Amino acid sequence: MTLRVTVWGENVHEKKHPLVAEIYPKGMHQCIADALNTDPELRATCATLDMPEHGLTEKVLAETDVLTWWGHTAHGKVDDAIVDRVQKRVLQGMGLIVLHSGHHSKIFKRLMGHNCDLVWREAGEKERLWVVNPAHAIVQGLPAWIDIEHEEMYGEPFGIPNPDEVVFLSWFAGGEAFRSGVTYRRGGGKIFYFRPGHETYPTYHQKEIQQVLRNAVKWARPEGHAPWGAPERPVAKAIEPITEYGGSVH
Amino acid sequence: MTLRVTVWGENVHEKKHPLVAEIYPKGMHQCIADALNTDPELRATCATLDMPEHGLTEKVLAETDVLTWWGHTAHGKVDDAIVDRVQKRVLQGMGLIVLHSGHHSKIFKRLMGHNCDLVWREAGEKERLWVVNPAHAIVQGLPAWIDIEHEEMYGEPFGIPNPDEVVFLSWFAGGEAFRSGVTYRRGGGKIFYFRPGHETYPTYHQKEIQQVLRNAVKWARPEGHAPWGAPERPVAKAIEPITEYGGSVH
Amino acid sequence: MTLRVTVWGENVHEKKHPLVAEIYPKGMHQCIADALNTDPELRATCATLDMPEHGLTEKVLAETDVLTWWGHTAHGKVDDAIVDRVQKRVLQGMGLIVLHSGHHSKIFKRLMGHNCDLVWREAGEKERLWVVNPAHAIVQGLPAWIDIEHEEMYGEPFGIPNPDEVVFLSWFAGGEAFRSGVTYRRGGGKIFYFRPGHETYPTYHQKEIQQVLRNAVKWARPEGHAPWGAPERPVAKAIEPITEYGGSVH
Amino acid sequence: MTLRVTVWGENVHEKKHPLVAEIYPKGMHQCIADALNTDPELRATCATLDMPEHGLTEKVLAETDVLTWWGHTAHGKVDDAIVDRVQKRVLQGMGLIVLHSGHHSKIFKRLMGHNCDLVWREAGEKERLWVVNPAHAIVQGLPAWIDIEHEEMYGEPFGIPNPDEVVFLSWFAGGEAFRSGVTYRRGGGKIFYFRPGHETYPTYHQKEIQQVLRNAVKWARPEGHAPWGAPERPVAKAIEPITEYGGSVH
């Protein structure tokens, strides 16, 4: 069954910075979508900040199995009502892949309940991603490690809840280490944060990184058809007989 | 060393409903604070919704080691700026004990990243709390189970992230089971959600429940003096030499 | 792709106790295998204690995607070498479903690192299983709860590590609550413990229970083709140049 | 209240390898115990492999709040009955700090239910330990990172269950990253694995490492006076009336 993926891109750097436009002439989002669409099981389409409702209408989200999110310079411009909507869909079961500087997006901070702060350095240094669990779905088809020749550095402490799983650790030439691939579950939704992807480097053109993205999207597919529970609601009648009861002020 | 506890109470039912006022003449918060203050290691004071800044000024929070939170009918009246402030202090290390209908408070939903929905029934039925881990700090001095003669029922599914630990399970006479005591860690802050405590029953007068509250507050004490990391910030210089580097558009 | 399931049964009660033989004339294991085989994606075969190597030869395990385990009265008769073999396959990625009194099997205690103790009562009372996360793969197609008219009771404390996920909670007529469906990951292997299934009741004939078994087996399928890492081994050469080094006594 | 620590050392390298004996003339265990005993809240004594019952008699363990474990070359010589005994005490509430090559000790593998495999390289390279959560009890008083000039490298994949918390990450000069400080809870016992400490380097003389050890021992102190539950046992009588019941073959 085809998995419907919506690739969300902020689409700001691509328009303002010639270097970024040169690396990603169709936008970072389109590069990611193209990488996903090489897999016949996946059907990825794009949505961007500048579209009405940021391209994330009720209809689009209802027909999205997994959403990927890249943002950086315009987190504050994302409408809170859209963040509410995305959170609701994640709790219902939609998968969410948060990329690189999306660590500080409203939706990631919302779902983590955390500040998601970290330290960074932009020096184009080498990053090496180590596979922590070689049997995990997200690392299938990868070697024991992935080298990215030039990347921005992200360092600990990373202000996130203890992850369900740490899938990748990064080693940086400048001397730092980082939890670069971490998973969470929130309601029905599976969430994967993946660190690499600074806009001034061709990271999303790298074939191993594209493999991670395809794997992650498949890993995050909804497990069930049932939505997350009912809304908060009362249960009028007990299943078992209750012989005594107290008063109520509701 | 004395632990400084702030007991936050919504203080609305107590003023509107004669039955609640009769059970808790000084307010539910004062009943909880009194129970904590029987322990010489604890010094509990109260703060309520109707106070300026809901009684949770920067100064009060800076001098609070553990905050307890009971709210129900007025969650929406809690100022978002105060919620931000409490979240920040929890990430820094302040403990947080969320009680009963506080499951739907802004601060709990914020820290969980979840809707925290559940089902409920107010029929004054019997609740039995089972201790899941008898070696946990929160259950010290308790029997294998606690019976509460009359309580509101909360039922699964409870819309929370998978807890770090399940400390109590509830059995209800009407036929439900529930994860009634669960722990989380967010940054430096330890969080405990404890289910019992509907306003129309004398639950917080019960001695085993008071023991849980004292234990929980001690368990949640800050572990360290260090705040949670630095804010999101750049690292200008690498520790190790970086021999090659790329450009930057920052 | 067909999922290869091996259903392991102790097959002792069925031969000794007329009541059990009456309920499960082909053995409990065959009843479970038949329930799995109603799904065309699954191909289940049986293995029992009395077979050579308990039916779990290297070849059988190498060709097993998911193993289910029911044992009770003869845990001590399971050869330690077979337990080693099963553990190794789980770490490599084979799924494992542990049923009912299998909580005290050698393989479950081995993988948990725990005593897995609990309390029990055999009074044929009603058990009600509550779904904790309605979006989980294991509960698809189920109602909000499952009633089993007559079952043995298992009560807390259950001596297990904090689970990754609690999927079911049980309510018992006699007054207990229990974590009846819990998941773990060990290496590549996904593990699900599922409480119901006492030999003197027709639990595995119940259609909702059969649905849980089919769902669980599919949930536990291996995620990857890669085995769990390499064995413990040295790395002769560093990827990066190491300019200084100390001595060695190896 | 004084915390009673037993420092277990294999005490084999110290006697066979002149370099190790030169670095640790009183044994690695005594160096660790001395570091702990600089804190008036701690009272550390040593036990070694060559003592009767490896120095871990029932009496010694009953009077131990936290046990630290360093072993390497003689894991196989540790008596299984002693491993059983230590595991039982951990489940009851005794803390356990596993050091460096203790990752492959019987007791660690037992409690993890895992093979605990990893890759290693002994090249005396630089290790840098990054603090992942600056508010954690185990890192109090430490800087943002610790440099160890010469250490053995341990690399991922590390064959352990997903930790409750990752407290330290290591960066190695040769190009690897590793989860160097991880916590678990098993029953009442808190467990901390800490990577550094190869016998041919003076790691346990380093003051930041000694601070970690003191912090870890305090963090791992038993939370309660209650032992872990009762043993597996039947409950003869139900709390609530059971109106119908089935037969029994027990």
What is the DSSP track for chain B?
--EEEEEEE--SHHHH-HHHHHH-TT-HHHHHHHHHHTSTTEEEEEEETTSGGGG--HHHHHT-SEEEEE-SS-GGGS-HHHHHHHHHHHHHT-EEEEEGGGGGSHHHHHHHTS----EEEEEEEEEEEEES-TTSGGGTT--SEEEEEEEEEEESPP--PPPSEEEEEEEETTS-EEEEEEEEEETTEEEEEE----TTS-GGGSHHHHHHHHHHHHHTS---SS-SS--SEE--S-SS----------
In this predicted structure, the answer to whether residue C18 has a pLDDT above a threshold of 60 is yes
Token pair, residue C150, equals: 């007559």
Any chain C CB within 8 A of the CB of A163? no
Residues of D in contact with A117 (CB under 8 A): none
Strands D233-234 and D119-131, bridge-based pairing: unpaired
Question: Considering only residues 47 to 86 of chain C, which have any Cβ-Cβ distance to chain D shorter than 8 Å?
Answer: none
pLDDT value for A224? 77
pLDDT value for D197? 98
In this predicted structure, the answer to whether residue C226 has a pLDDT above a threshold of 90 is no
Query: Are C78 and C8 a contacting pair, CB within 8 Å?
Result: no
Q: Among partner residues D120, D235, D244, which is closest to C124 by beta-carbon distance?
A: D244
What is the DSSP track for A35-60?
HHHTSTTEEEEEEETTSGGGG--HHH
Q: What is the pTM of this model?
A: 0.96
B179: Cβ–Cβ under 8 A, 6 or more apart, which residues?
B156, B158, B160, B163, B166, B168, B169, C132, C166, C169
Q: Among partner residues D112, D117, D119, which is closest to C113 by beta-carbon distance?
A: D112
Residue A237 banded pLDDT, cuts 50, 70, 90? confident
pLDDT tens by residue, A24-44? 999 999 999 999 999 999 999
In this predicted structure, the answer to whether residue C71 has a pLDDT above a threshold of 60 is yes
In this predicted structure, the answer to whether residue D179 has a pLDDT above a threshold of 70 is yes
Any chain D CB within 8 A of the CB of B219? yes
Residues of C in contact with B166 (CB under 8 A): 162, 166, 179
In this predicted structure, the answer to whether residue B227 has a pLDDT above a threshold of 70 is no
In this predicted structure, the answer to whether residue C95 has a pLDDT above a threshold of 60 is yes
- The whole-angstrom separation of Cα C30 and Cα C8 is 9
Tell me how close the Cα of C210 comes to any Cα of chain B, in angstroms. 22
Q: Tell me the three state secondary structure of residue C149.
A: strand
Q: What is the DSSP letter of A90?
A: H
Tokens 């190498």 locate to C62
Residues of D in contact with B222 (CB under 8 A): 135
Tokens 């690897």 locate to D176
Phi, psi (deg, nearest 5) at residue C209: -65, -40
Query: Are C137 and C218 a contacting pair, CB within 8 Å?
Result: yes
pLDDT tens by residue, D197-244? 999 999 999 999 999 999 999 999 998 765 554 567 888 788 888 865
Token pair, residue B29, equals: 């918060």
pLDDT value for D235? 83
Lowest mean pLDDT among A48-57, A239-248, C120-129: A239-248
- The whole-angstrom separation of Cα C7 and Cα D190 is 35
Query: Are C95 and C65 a contacting pair, CB within 8 Å?
Result: yes
Q: Tell me the three state secondary structure of residue A173.
A: coil
Lowest mean pLDDT among B172-176, B240-244, C205-209: B240-244
pLDDT tens by residue, D94-111? 999 999 999 999 999 999
- The whole-angstrom separation of Cα B55 and Cα B60 is 8
pLDDT tens by residue, D9-20? 999 999 999 999
Q: Which of B15, B102, B99 is nearest to B50 (CA)?
A: B15
pLDDT tens by residue, A102-149? 999 999 999 999 999 999 999 999 999 999 999 999 999 999 999 999
D152: Cβ–Cβ under 8 A, 6 or more apart, which residues?
D100, D120, D121, D122, D123, D124, D198, D200, D201
Tokens 């939370």 locate to D223
Q: What is the mean pLDDT of residues A222-242?
A: 74
Q: Tell me the three state secondary structure of residue A239.
A: coil
Token pair, residue A28, equals: 């970072």
In this predicted structure, the answer to whether residue D116 has a pLDDT above a threshold of 70 is yes
Any chain A CB within 8 A of the CB of D166? yes
Dihedral angle, C-alpha A66, A68, A74, A77, nearest 10 °? 0
Half-sphere exposure of B167 (CA within 13 A, CB side): 23
- The whole-angstrom separation of Cα B248 and Cα A46 is 26
> How much is the mean pLDDT over chain C?
93
pLDDT value for D231? 62
Token pair, residue D90, equals: 């951990």
Closest residue in C to B118 (Cα) is C132
Tokens 């356990």 locate to D96
D90: Cβ–Cβ under 8 A, 6 or more apart, which residues?
D67, D96, D111, D186, D187, D188, D189, D191
Contact B232 A104 (CB under 8 A): yes
pLDDT value for D226? 54
pLDDT value for A239? 87
Contact D225 B140 (CB under 8 A): yes
Q: What is the mean pLDDT of residues A197-219?
A: 98
Any chain B CB within 8 A of the CB of C175? yes
Residues of C in contact with B170 (CB under 8 A): 177
Query: Are B91 and B228 a contacting pair, CB within 8 Å?
Result: yes
pLDDT value for B233? 82
Q: Is C113 left (phi over 0), alpha (psi -120 to 50) or beta?
A: left
CA B110 centroid distance within chain: 12
Q: Is D116 left (phi over 0), alpha (psi -120 to 50) or beta?
A: left
pLDDT tens by residue, B179-220? 999 999 999 999 999 999 999 999 999 999 999 999 999 999
> How much is the mean pLDDT over chain D?
93
Phi, psi (deg, nearest 5) at residue C29: -60, -40
pLDDT value for B226? 53
Q: Among partner residues C92, C137, C165, which is closest to A224 by beta-carbon distance?
A: C137
- The whole-angstrom separation of Cα D45 and Cα D66 is 11
Tell me how close the Cα of B39 comes to any Cα of chain A, in angstroms. 31
- The whole-angstrom separation of Cα B202 and Cα B133 is 26
Contact B114 A173 (CB under 8 A): no
pLDDT tens by residue, C158-198? 999 999 999 999 999 999 999 999 999 999 999 999 999 99
What is the DSSP track for D25-42?
TT-HHHHHHHHHHTSTTE
Choose from A223, A233, A235 for mutation: most chain C CBs within 10 A: A223
D88: Cβ–Cβ under 8 A, 6 or more apart, which residues?
C115
Query: Are C110 and C87 a contacting pair, CB within 8 Å?
Result: yes
Residues of C in contact with B162 (CB under 8 A): 163-166
Any chain B CB within 8 A of the CB of C165? yes
- The whole-angstrom separation of Cα B57 and Cα B71 is 18
What is the DSSP track for D145-192?
EEEEEEEEEEESPP--PPPSEEEEEEEETTS-EEEEEEEEEETTEEEE
> How much is the mean pLDDT over chain B?
93
What is the DSSP track for D213-249?
HHHHHHHTS---SS-SS--SEE--S-SS---------
Residues of D in contact with B149 (CB under 8 A): none
Strands A177-186 and A165-172, bridge-based pairing: antiparallel
> How much is the mean pLDDT over chain A?
93
Contact D224 B92 (CB under 8 A): no
pLDDT value for A241? 86
